[in-house]
Amino acid sequence: MIAADTNVWARAYLDDDAAQSATARASIKAACETSGIFVPLLVLAELAWVLRGRWERKRVLQTLEEIFKADGVVVESRTLAEKALSASRAGVSGFADLLIAEVSFTAGASEIITFDKAFGRHQHVRRLR
């Protein structure tokens, strides 16, 4: 199994550099068809931010879901990532914030502090002013 950095995933989806995008897609496909490709939670959070800068929220969440369901893809702490995706679909906070919450609470945090107004509305998240 291999892992790919966020920029490889971003190039594969954004198609903003024709040569690199083609290489990224081919490399991901080859990995999925052979030994698999590992996706760390950090890559998912970064990818969500990068894609959100160019796409609407719904498309970003659909793309993440496609990654989760793809044959040959192994997502780190998949259950946490899926919980964050589900919560993001249902609420106003972004995937990356909700992934931070899932990981933090699983690790034993009792509260998260943030300056983010929307994220600050979630249970056990306190907005700093």
Half-sphere exposure of 60 (CA within 13 A, CB side): 22
Counted domains in the chain: 1
- Domain range spanning residue 24? 2-127
Least confident of 11-15, 80-84, 119-123: 119-123
pLDDT one-digit tens code per residue, 18-54: 999 999 999 999 999 999 999 999 999 999 999 999 9
**Could you give the CA distance from residue 88 to residue 6 in angstroms, rounded to a whole number?**
20
Q: What is the CATH number of the domain that holds 51?
A: 3.40.50
Contact by Cβ (8 Å): 37, 3: yes
pTM for this predicted structure: 0.91
- Is 26 exposed, middle or buried, given 0-12, 13-18 or 19+ CB atoms closer than 10 A? exposed
Question: Residue 31 gets which letter from DSSP?
Answer: H
